[in-house]
Amino acid sequence: MCITPVWAQPFKVGVISDFEKSTNLELIIDQMIHEIDQTTGAARKVSLGATSFGIVDNESAQRSYDQLDGQVDLVIALGSISAKSLSSANDLSTPVIALGIIDPGLQEIPYANGTSGKRNFTYIWPTRNLEKELETFHNIHEFSHVAVFVDEKAVSTVSAQNERNLIDSLSRKLNTELSIIPVGTNMEKVLSQLPAETDAAYFTVLLSQTESQIRHLIIELNERKIPTFSGNARLMDYGVLGSMTNENDLQQVIRKLAIMIDGIATGSDLSSMSVTLDTKDNLYVNIATARKIELPIPFEVLLTATIIGDDEGAVRSYSFEEIAEKSLASNLSIQISYQDIERSKVRVKSARSNVLPSIESGLTASQINEERASATFNAPEKSLTAGWTYNKKPDKKLSAY
């Protein structure tokens, strides 16, 4: 009996990047290739083909793509300039997957019912809701003029009219002024562009800057006591006050990329692939930064956020009764009848002598209209109960800054 060996088919991936070559970027690319190789299985041997770094305009992106065309099986475009350029190319004979999309609408990148709709072109869009994140930021700090930091390379790919429309819309909805600040590599220049009335700063994803450059910018903002918020979890380690994000964003992007390439290798149509990457984001608050800029964090935010940077131990404690009073006071949008208020007071008093299940039964007895929303807990009758039955001893306190 003769057994014919089956060899893995080679599959080469080329990379075109807006960003300059760096150790960190090379590590990310290696991680991508490894994940793709693992996902496509033993039938294919994935390897990295040619790479091109430092793309600065449409012409250099197109030139780099032409050099890779026919030499690799697929091109990964990293960064807004490369993505925008190849998305508008008339013909792409070698498939392209783009990473670094800000917003297809703002950048006028093909988007049709959750797909690119363009032959041999697709991308991964980690959908971020700027309005939602700014609203969350506003719950932490009631700003009136927020500076939005955007990578200068990304800014160059955004439609000026679409940007203006977005700024005007958000300014009306949030009753605040927004300023878009391009971020390059000169942080002093960035700081000099801040309007004098700036009382908050929001970071979009910055990829062209080094860690030290971003740290310098955040340190300067903290020195000026300007609260900061980010859509990128890694900036929390650099001193940003808050973030509405998922810690595993990069890993999820790489995983989706590998799955998409596995589909391409087996003949799937790029134009019909889903481009969105929806993640379940969490609110993080850096208490160390809050102390540094002397910003008190609202009680209702502390109840829902993941607190980091609390190494000093100087945390304010609240008793059960204080939590009850603050929680009820926080639900300002809920109208409770006089009888219900009196009933709630009686139940809170009973908690002083007995903090066992009677706390739960007391608080859930308040007759709150189920159709009304809770400003603090989303569903008051359930959330308050869950929060208080956690501790069993009368002298136990819940901590918050």
Residue 391 has pLDDT above 70, yes or no: no
Q: Which residue has the higher pLDDT, 304 or 46?
A: 46
Beta strand ranges found along 236-334 (DSSP E): 242-245, 282-286, 306-308, 317-318
Region 124-139: mean pLDDT is 86
Q: How confident is the model at residue 132 (pLDDT cuts 50, 70, 90)?
A: confident
Region 222-238: mean pLDDT is 90
Give the pLDDT of residue 7: 64
- What CA–CA distance (Å, rounded) separates 39 from 256? 10
CA distances from 317 to 320, 324, 341, 396 (A): 10, 13, 25, 10
- What CA–CA distance (Å, rounded) separates 216 from 93? 43
Whether 130-246+296-308 and 9-127+249-272 are alike in CATH topology: the answer is yes
Encode burial over 225-239: b for 16+ CB neighbours within 10 A, e otherwise.
ebbbbbbbbbbbebb
Region 160-185: mean pLDDT is 90
Longest dimension (CA), the chain: 90
Domain spans in the chain, listed from the N-terminal domain onward:
9-127+249-272, 130-246+296-308, 317-399
Tokens of 119: 């032959």
Q: How confident is the model at residue 131 (pLDDT cuts 50, 70, 90)?
A: confident
Enumerate the β-bridge partners of residue 282. Answer: 245
* Architecture of the domain made up of 9-127+249-272: 3-Layer(aba) Sandwich (3.40)
Residue pLDDT, tens place only, 306-334: 888 865 544 444 444 444 454 555 454 44
Q: Which residue has the higher pLDDT, 342 or 243?
A: 243
Length of the chain as a residue count: 401
- What CA–CA distance (Å, rounded) separates 257 from 263? 10
Q: Tell me, yes or no, if the pTM score tops 0.85.
A: no
Q: Which residue has the higher pLDDT, 74 or 153?
A: 74
Percentage, residues of the chain above pLDDT 90: 46
Give the pLDDT of residue 200: 96
Give the pLDDT of residue 91: 86
Residue 24 has pLDDT above 90, yes or no: no
Amino acid at 256: K
Q: For residue 344, which of 392, 297, 388 has the smallest C-alpha distance?
A: 388
Give the pLDDT of residue 383: 43
- What CA–CA distance (Å, rounded) separates 316 from 327? 16
- What CA–CA distance (Å, rounded) separates 150 from 204? 6
CA distances from 387 to 301, 328, 359, 394, 395 (A): 14, 13, 10, 15, 16
CATH topology of domain 130-246+296-308: Rossmann fold (3.40.50)
The neighbour count for residue 99, using CB atoms within 10 Å, is: 24
Q: Which residue has the higher pLDDT, 356 or 180?
A: 180
Beta-carbon contacts of 36 under 8 Å, excluding residues fewer than 6 positions away, are: 13, 46, 257, 258, 261, 262
Question: Quick one: CA dihedral 393, 386, 374, 334, positive or negative?
Answer: negative
- What CA–CA distance (Å, rounded) separates 121 from 99? 12
Q: For residue 381, which of 367, 401, 395 has the smallest C-alpha distance?
A: 367
Residue pLDDT, tens place only, 68-105: 988 999 999 999 999 999 999 988 999 999 998 888 98
Q: What's the Rg (C-alpha) of the chain?
A: 26
Helix (H) or strand (E) segment spanning residue 148: strand 145-151
The neighbour count for residue 19, using CB atoms within 10 Å, is: 21
